[in-house]
């Protein structure tokens, strides 16, 4: 049976990664919104990538803050700065995006970025029409337990596409884990920023460019 749909991660797959310094500024701004003028740099780091509900709670506790408003401000500021990065051309579409034109299957996106951010990226790059379904996170702490490696949003996307044998494409271990949890095959795209990445969980396929994807999708699985 060939694959009947393709779901892709966004950051590091379709568009370039957001510069880390931009994210540091967003998180520091969120602390300042909450009245913390000079947060510990380590706590700022903790709220950038790989944030779990437990990490958010423990960081919030250290400053006597409620996690929900801190997280909302973190996500909103992060979304606004990323939108600016896209408009400034610093968060660009990878050149091999055009390979998606050769895929004769419905496409979807599942991102751990804010839904608002993913929507802005699609609009700015004028690529929304490629995708039949798109999921990012809601800007609330509960979404931290639903994001990849949890298959929550991937399951929803697969349901929307009515797919029985979809393929999920990502650039992180959490993408491969989410595919596995959803019971679907995975593609790990090893771009330059993942040159040194070692995966504890093997993907079904590994590629270096989206140009390799159409053949995988159309061949018999």
**Residues that bind Mg ion in the complex, under the rule CB under 5 A:** 9, 11-12, 171-172
Helix axes 67-87, 115-125, angle to 10 degrees: 10
Q: How far is the CB of 121 from Mg ion (least distance, A)?
A: 12
> Which residue in 182, 146, 189, 147 sits closest to 163, CA to CA?
182
State which residue, 60 or 114, has the beta carbon closest to Mg ion. 114
Q: What are phi and psi of 217, to 5 degrees?
A: -65, -40
Give whichever of 28 and 116 is closer to Mg ion, judged by the CB atom: 116
Structure tokens at 111: 């991102």
- Work out how close the CB of 136 gets to Mg ion at its nearest, in angstroms, rounded to a whole number: 12
DSSP strands (E only) in 19-72: none
Closer residue to Mg ion, CB minimum distance, 36 or 48: 48
Least Cβ distance, residue 145 to Mg ion (angstroms): 18
- Tokens read off for 104: 């004769």
Compute the least distance from the CB of residue 172 to Mg ion, in Å.
Answer: 5
CA distance 136 to 110: 6
Nearer to Mg ion, 31 or 153 (CB): 153
Helix (H, G, I), strand (E, B) or coil at 207: strand
DSSP structural state of residue 39: -
In angstroms, what is the minimal distance from the CB of 66 to Mg ion?
Answer: 29
| Rounded Cα–Cα distance for residues 151 and 129 (Å) | 24
Please check whether residue 14 is in contact with residue 191, taking contact to mean a CB–CB distance below 8 angstroms. Answer: no
Beta strands, E only, the chain: 5-8, 107-114, 133-137, 166-170, 185-189, 205-207
Q: For residue 33, give Cα distances in angstroms to 38, 49, 74, 140.
A: 11, 20, 9, 16
Residue 172 or 186 having the CB closest to Mg ion = 172
Least gap, CB of 11 to Mg ion (angstroms): 4
Q: Which residue is nearest to Mg ion (CB)?
A: 12
**Closer to Mg ion by Cβ: residue 11 or 43:** 11
């Amino acid at each position: 049976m060939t694959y009947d749909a393709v779901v892709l991660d966004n950051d590091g797959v379709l568009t370039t990664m957001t510069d880390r310094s931009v994210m540091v500024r967003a998180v520091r701004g969120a602390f300042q919104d909450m009245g913390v003028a000079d947060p510990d740099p380590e706590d700022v780091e903790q709220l950038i990538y790989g944030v779990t509900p437990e990490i958010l709670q423990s960081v919030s506790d250290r400053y006597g803050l409620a996690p929900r408003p801190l997280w909302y401000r973190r996500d909103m500021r992060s979304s606004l700065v990323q939108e600016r990065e896209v408009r400034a051309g610093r968060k660009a579409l990878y050149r091999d995006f055009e390979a998606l034109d050769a895929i004769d299957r419905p496409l979807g996106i599942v991102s751990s970025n804010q839904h608002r951010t993913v929507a802005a990226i699609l609009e700015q790059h004028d690529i929304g029409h490629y995708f039949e379904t798109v999921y990012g996170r809601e800007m609330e702490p509960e979404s931290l337990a639903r994001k990849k490696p949890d298959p929550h949003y991937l399951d929803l996307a697969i349901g929307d596409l009515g797919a029985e044998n979809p393929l999920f494409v990502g650039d992180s271990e959490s993408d491969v884990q989410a595919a596995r949890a959803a019971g679907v095959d995975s593609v790990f795209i090893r771009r330059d920023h993942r040159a040194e990445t070692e995966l504890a969980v093997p993907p079904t396929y590994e590629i270096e460019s989206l140009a390799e994807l159409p053949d995988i999708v159309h061949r018999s699985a």
